């Protein structure tokens, strides 16, 4: 939920040789040597995305598509009612978007996460608790919120990479931006706030988006956190209008 666009850590375990020897001896005694590798080969346990390279830690707004282009971003889902409807509208106009997901929501609805990925959209980490005061919390709290959500989303997606991080309410800190970037997630801002979470009418959402488009390419909508019927209807009107104005659709730069 957009409230504002706000401002701007290891333990190394050392195993003793005696413990290792004892563990190996015990494993051999029970005939289970190599069972861990076998479990991995058989796909037992949660899948994790392959290690990714760090990305730029600055907050991105620009599109990766040249020319007159917009980035559609969808926050606070996935939601079993509204995410499928948003996906249907995006498909109708052949538009790809970035879905900024809440970790527990993704964990609860892995089918929707996989559906988002299968449709060619990209994933964004929107934390565990959607705390818009994260910039006033400890680094350990920020780390837990960001990295636990990333794992939940990637596991729900079957290992697809989370490519962006959006702080709730824009409550970025230098630490959170650096942490996200080190884990392959570009901090993601916005230029156009549809204010669809504030209620009002479909016409009001339309007017807000049209009026703010000169601010930049990244547009913020929501598919979670409440009744998003107005968002669905507004997207169904705005996307063809944007295309008529000569806009194309890309993804935020990484």
CB 156 within 8 A of CB 114: yes
- How many Cβ atoms sit within 10 Å of the Cβ of residue 115? 16
Coil vs helix vs strand at 140: helix
State phi, psi for 70 to the nearest 5 degrees. Answer: -125, 150
Whole-Å CA distances, 48 to 17, 42, 82, 157: 29, 14, 27, 10
CA nearest 220: which of 193, 200, 198, 253?
A: 193
Residue 198, φ and ψ in degrees, nearest 5: -90, 0
Active site residues: 75, 222
Parallel/antiparallel/unpaired status of strands 192-193 and 218-222:
parallel
Give which of 117, 111, 101, 189 is closest to 152, Cα–Cα: 101
């Amino acid at each position: 939920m957009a409230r504002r666009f706000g401002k701007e850590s290891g333990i190394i375990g050392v195993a003793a040789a005696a413990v290792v020897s004892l563990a190996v001896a015990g494993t051999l005694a029970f005939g289970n040597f190599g069972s861990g590798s076998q479990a991995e080969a058989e796909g037992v346990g949660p899948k994790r995305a392959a290690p990714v390279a760090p990305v730029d830690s600055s907050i991105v707004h620009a599109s990766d598509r040249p020319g007159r282009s917009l980035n559609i971003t969808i926050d606070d889902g996935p939601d079993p009612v509204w995410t499928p409807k948003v996906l249907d509208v995006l498909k109708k106009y052949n538009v790809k978007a970035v879905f900024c997901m809440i970790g527990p929501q993704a964990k609860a609805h892995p089918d929707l996460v996989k559906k988002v990925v299968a449709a060619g959209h990209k994933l964004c980490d929107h934390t565990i608790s959607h705390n818009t005061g994260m910039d006033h919390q400890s680094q350990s709290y920020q780390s837990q919120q960001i990295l636990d959500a990333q794992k939940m989303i990637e596991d729900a997606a079957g290992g697809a990479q989370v490519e962006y991080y959006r702080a709730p309410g824009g409550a970025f800190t230098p630490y959170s931006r650096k942490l996200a970037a080190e884990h392959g997630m570009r901090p993601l801002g916005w230029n156009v706030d549809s204010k669809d979470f504030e209620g009002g009418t479909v016409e009001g959402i339309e007017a807000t988006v049209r009026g703010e488009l000169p601010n930049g390419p990244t547009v913020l909508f929501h598919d979670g956190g409440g009744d998003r019927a107005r968002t669905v209807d507004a997207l169904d009107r705005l996307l063809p209008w944007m295309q008529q104005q000569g806009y194309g659709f890309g993804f935020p730069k990484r």
